Amino acid sequence: MAIAIEAKRGLTRRHLLVRSAATIAVGGLGSIARPYLSRAADRPAIACGIQSGDVSANSAVIWARADRPSRMQVEYSASENFKTLLGSSSADALPDSDCTSKLLLEGLPAGQDIFYRVRFENLDESGIAGEAQLGHFRTAPSGREPVSFVWSGDTLGQGWGIDPSRGGLRTYRTMRDNRPDFFIHCGDHIYADCPVEAELKLPNGEIWRNIVTEEKSVVAHSVAHFRGNYKYNWLDENLRAFHADVPIFAQWDDHEVTNDWAPIGSADDTGYAEDGSSKLVARARRAFHEFMPIRATPERSGRIYRKISYGPMLEIFLIDMRSYRDSTWNKRDDQGEAFILGREQLAWLKRELVASNATWKVIAADMPIGLISEDAVALGDGPPERREHEIADLLSFMKRAGIRNTVWLTADMHYTAAHHYDPNRAVFADFEPFWEFVSGPLHAGTWAPAALDNTFGPKAIFQKGCSAEQGENLAPCFGLQFFGRVDVDGKTEIMTVTLKDVDNSDLWSVDIDPRPDARPGQIMAQHI
């Protein structure tokens, strides 16, 4: 029975994949069809693409950007032919937000493929409307149905822009072919501090030829520069098709602002606002929220950390390891106060983990715990110091509270790896074993695997990156671009994590058993 359901679902999505990249004439849009002028240039148009995000069992955020001030109109249905509508809604797209617009759709049926179509119409109520684009997402199940999702990070970094002759952002096409329920982007959606040049020379003597835009040709400082980085991503057809079909759960890391930024100390010549906050960070944060389909958190405007429930088996805790960190380098000889989550976010995470009844608690992080880095958490072998104290506090709290089946997912390191943390290998041993999986880049330079410390006892069960002979910043065309796939079985609730590359090769996988009699984090089966 499960096979038949999956086959039917796959067929529906294959039909969608053919149609979602195209536009649909407004004359066929039913209740939102309006008269329009004969010339396309006289009608408002979708300027980048469409996307959905933060999908739950009964709601989702829809995003699009117009080419001029206009009003976004959205219709949505549980049937691909739109014969019966679940509803329609609208929101303005104005210059203050670079003509981006977001809508929260609510009251959706659980566990259902939802089809939506977006178009823009003039603000003057004249009924002049542009063509529509079709999108798709699947709401979270209400019961124990199988769930599949992908994660990665690091898009368009180190000067490797869009080269259409090399297939553009190919990893997005591969992830789309996996037909996941959703996608977690763990940060570095853009590289605002990495301009794109017209040509780069490859080690084999070939030339990498980038699409070049004015705003992506300089280090970002203005709001227009940051917006231009996001708009550059949308020039790729693989990314547009992916986001029209797969909802995103978005985080950020450093390159949405500048390399290794911290709340204080990361500023340009415009300096700081009266409250001491960086004006550069504020401009970058504004552009990020304009271009990401993130649902608003009324208790704190612009907050990125949040929880998304995706059925009874899965909750995603998206944390923010940038906005509340200390402003020092992660060095032992620095005596300043050190933290990476901050008191408020750490307390929130503890509360939400305790309250969760989901079988699996996935913590989506900006960066890994145990990889030694001056920008991250790990300092090197030894007991917890500085930022490691927050992680030690969290891990020991989860053990005392009996919080089981936590899995950490991250990107940032520009290679892929599976890390198993075990107190029997650790200097700090007051925690239960758990897994951390690293994947990326989606489209950026590839690095060699980094060193782990023994504070929390991590062991690299698998890792793949570039070799010493290949050197750092290996171009995307050499195939070492990575993402991860997670499958949760609806009957056994076993989680299978598979590390994959741009060609969809299964590099390594593991099955993790959630049952109460299983040892937390234990390895059931590994496959290479």
With contact defined as beta carbons under 8 Å apart, do 196 and 215 qualify? no
3-state secondary structure of 287: helix
pLDDT for position 15 = 39
Q: How far, in Å, CA of 38 to CA of 527, rounded?
A: 58
pLDDT for position 524 = 53
| CATH class name, domain 2-138 | mainly beta
The H or E element that residue 525 is part of is: strand 525-527
pLDDT for position 30 = 43
Q: Radius of gyration over alpha carbons of the chain, in Å? A: 23
What angle, rounded to 10 degrees, do the helices at 237-245 and 2-20 form?
130
pLDDT for position 20 = 40
pLDDT for position 331 = 81
pLDDT for position 330 = 83
pLDDT for position 519 = 62
How high is the mean pLDDT in each 10-residue block of the chain (528 residues)? 33 39 39 50 92 98 98 97 96 97 97 98 88 97 97 97 98 98 98 97 95 97 98 98 98 97 89 92 97 86 93 98 90 84 97 98 97 93 95 98 97 97 97 98 97 97 91 93 98 97 98 79 57
pLDDT for position 22 = 38
Beta bridge partners of 151: 184, 484
Beta bridge partners of 419: 436, 460
pLDDT for position 355 = 98
Task: For the chain, give the longest Cα–Cα distance.
Answer: 72
Looking at the chain, which residues constitute the CATH 3.60.21.70 domain(s)? 147-527
Q: Buried (b) or exposed (e) across 124-137, using 16+ Cβ within 10 A?
A: eeeebbbbbbbbbb
pLDDT for position 470 = 82
The H or E element that residue 246 is part of is: none
pLDDT for position 299 = 67
* Sign (positive or negative) of CA dihedral 205, 210, 215, 219: negative
pLDDT for position 87 = 96
Which CATH code of 2.70.98.40, 3.30.530.20, 3.60.21.70, 3.30.70.940 fits the domain covering 147-527? Answer: 3.60.21.70
pLDDT for position 14 = 36
Prediction pTM value: 0.91
Q: In this structure, what token pair is assigned to residue 253?
A: 């890391």
Q: What DSSP string runs through 62-111?
A: EEEEESSSEEEEEEEESSTT-SS-SEEEEEEE-GGGTTEEEEEEESPPTT
pLDDT for position 528 = 62
